[in-house]
Amino acid sequence: MSAFTDHIAELRRRWSGALASAGLDVAVVAAGTSRPYFLDDQSPPYRPNPHFAQWLAGAECPNSLLLVRRNGPVTLYFHQVEDYWHLPPATPDLDDAVAVETFDSIDAMTTAVAREVERFNRTAFVGEVETPGSNLPFGEVNPPLLLNALHYGRARKTPFEIACMRRATEIAVAGHVAAVAAFRAGASEFEIHQAYLSASQQTESSLPYSSIVALNEHAGVLHYQHYDRNSPAVRKSFLIDAGGRYRGYAADVTRTYAAQSDAFAALIDALDAEQLAIIDTIRAGMSYVDLHDAMHRSIAGILSNLGLVTCSAEAAYQQRITDAFFPHGIGHLIGLQTHDVGGHLASPEGGTRAPPERYPALRLTRAIETGQVFTVEPGIYFIPMLLRQLRPSAAGNDVAWSEVDALMGHGGIRIEDNVLITEDGVENLTREAFAGASSAT
Ligand code: GLY
Ligand code: MN
Ligand code: MN
């Protein structure tokens, strides 16, 4: 059997269990469609419903419907209309693991689905309402019991998904290698962005998320969203958070570089070492919240060792000085979505495991388990808004402000890898891809 056939077999097991626990016999999963902007005939790029995409291995089938029976085969009702304005979608190659019925009109497709759904008592629709199929008489629409079970399970990747994520990472890394070369050659943010797209063979709309390409103080804006056409006169730093996508699966990668060998470069090296050290500690069974907390202690150590605070690492941690320098979570689940769902779920049945009061931005609060893929992305930033609040506080007395002020124009550092949890530790998909890229040159 191919990895894809195994993947479909695993999805069938998961959906059978999830449908049973939600008291359902069948679900219709809508691919979705791209709606035009308000009062416009232009639409944003199409993004499939991830519940649909997981069965389709990246094949784009807007408007199509997937019928998942609790005890029985899975059928794709494939919408393929003849068109000369757009290229119609190709018939997906699903290794015969999913039956495909093709329709050239939405009406004919929904009529066929309705006829099949009528045979079952307990039915649900999974998808955006007001897309083809959502008007059929389903018992439930997006039932939380079904979605929670699926979202919880999605954290554990199948071997097919892991292979896709490995490839997505290689795509991203090809872009990163070109981007840093462009930075070293003096390129603007805009030019670096173009170099990234070109080397990774991606278009803006095929990226898993909008690339963050930040020179100097822009690196301190966590989700900086512009591409400055001008190259700054003085180049201090470069942060790039840019991903790759392969068959629907995302890679989410950040690197930071210093323009010269200075205090900022030393800070990057220190954070890089601590990021690798914390990844080394990861084992199935650990709490991701504890991992995040341990990273705050590591960052407190860096601030103390490099003289950015005048107090001990312990005091910097206890006084929450690190919160101003590292204001986001250490990472998140990743897969079909860059920020994959289910990070706060308490169990497959539902319930929320909220982040602790100190770390409200933490997107993942679950125990670490084999088969999960998540990011590990610590940062140290010089964010004027947060440092303005810290400066007059009691803890502010323990900050070495002249050293911190000297780094303000560098913006900040983030180093982001995607790791797979294995039986005996961690596989760092990102570092492997960078090693592969450098051995190939
Ligand atoms: N690229 C967004 C993030 O790192 O979460
Ligand atoms: Mn991330
Ligand atoms: Mn990122």
Is residue 31 within 8 Å of 66, Cβ to Cβ? yes
Confidence of residue 266 (pLDDT cuts 50, 70, 90): very high
pLDDT at 386: 98
Q: Hey, what amino acid is at 307?
A: G
pLDDT of residue 84: 95
Residues 149 and 213 in one domain: no
- Is residue 353 within 8 A of residue 346, CB to CB? The reply is yes
Q: Judge if 99 and 215 occupy the same domain.
A: no
Question: Ligand 2 centroid vs 182 CA: distance in angstroms?
Answer: 23
CATH number at residue 206: 3.90.230.10
What sign results for the dihedral spanned by CA atoms 187, 188, 189, 193?
negative
Q: Which pLDDT score is estimated for 134?
A: 84
With a cut of 80, say whether residue 118 has pLDDT above it: yes
Quick: pLDDT tens for 146-186. Answer: 999 999 999 999 999 999 999 999 999 999 999 999 999 99
Is the domain of 102 the same as that of 239?
no
Kindly give the number of the ligand 1 atom that is closest to the alpha carbon of 212.
1
For residue 132, the model assigns a pLDDT of: 81
pTM score, two decimals? Answer: 0.97
Closest ligand 1 atom to Cα of 331:
5
pLDDT at 379 over 80: yes
Shared domain for 104 and 212, answered yes or no, is: no
Query: What one-character DSSP code corresponds to residue 68?
Result: E
**Number of domains making up the chain:** 2
Give the C-alpha separation, 45 to 62, whole Å.
Answer: 11
Domain boundary among 106, 129, 153: 153
What is the Å distance from ligand 2's center to 305 Cα? Answer: 27
Q: What does the pLDDT read at residue 53? A: 97
User: Do residue 382 and residue 271 come from a single domain?
Assistant: yes
319 plus 253 within the same structural domain:
yes
What's the CA-to-centroid distance between 415 and ligand 2, angstroms?
Answer: 10
For the CA of 416, the nearest atom of ligand 1 = 4
Do 225 and 264 have their domain in common?
Answer: yes
Distance 240 CA to ligand 2 centre (A): 12
pLDDT at residue 95, rounded to an integer:
85
Question: Are 145 and 225 part of one and the same domain?
Answer: no
Cβ within 8 Å of residue 207, ≥6 positions away: 197, 242, 243, 244, 245
**Residue 367 is encoded by which pair of tokens?**
């125990």
pLDDT, tens only, 198-230: 999 999 999 999 999 999 999 999 999 999 999
Nearest of 21, 22, 46, 23 to residue 36 by alpha carbon: 46
Distance from the CA of 24 to the center of ligand 2, in angstroms? 35
pLDDT of residue 439: 87
Q: Please, what is the average pLDDT of the chain? A: 97
My answer on whether 149 and 163 are in the same domain is no
pLDDT confidence bin for 131, thresholds 50/70/90:
confident
- For residues 114 and 195, state if they share a domain: no
Residues flanking ligand 1, CB < 6 Å: 209, 241, 252, 338, 377, 416
The DSSP bridge pattern shows strands 237-246 and 212-215 to be antiparallel
pLDDT of residue 138 exceeding 80: yes
**pLDDT of 135:** 84
Q: What's residue 88's pLDDT? A: 93
272: left (phi over 0), alpha (psi -120 to 50) or beta: alpha
60/74 Cα distance (integer angstroms): 18
Per residue in 289-302, pLDDT tens? Answer: 999 999 999 999 99
What pLDDT score does 130 carry? Answer: 81
Residues 308, 170, single domain; the answer is yes
What residue numbers bound the domain in which 147 lies?
Answer: 3-153
Q: Among 11-25, 93-107, 130-144, name the most confident range.
A: 11-25
Please report, rounded to a whole number, the percentage of residues in the chain having pLDDT higher than 90: 95
Q: Do 175 and 197 contact (CB within 8 A), yes or no?
A: yes
* pLDDT confidence of residue 26: 98
The answer for residues whose C-beta is within 8 angstroms of residue 2's C-beta and 6 or more apart is 95
Confidence of residue 272 (pLDDT cuts 50, 70, 90): very high
- Closest-CA residue, ligand 1 atom 3, reads 252
User: In 3D, which of 101, 95, 209, 208 has the Cα closest to residue 160?
Assistant: 95
Asked if residue 81 has pLDDT above 80, the reply is: yes
Ligand 1 atom 4 nearest Cα: 252
131, 153, 175 — which closes off a domain? 153
Residues 84 and 203 reside in one and the same domain: no
> Does the pLDDT at position 133 exceed 90?
no
The per-residue pLDDT for range 343-367, each reduced to its tens digit, is 999 999 999 999 999 999 999 999 9
CATH number for the domain spanning 25: value is 3.40.350.10
Domain boundary among 153, 183, 215: 153
What confidence score (pLDDT) does residue 381 get?
A: 99
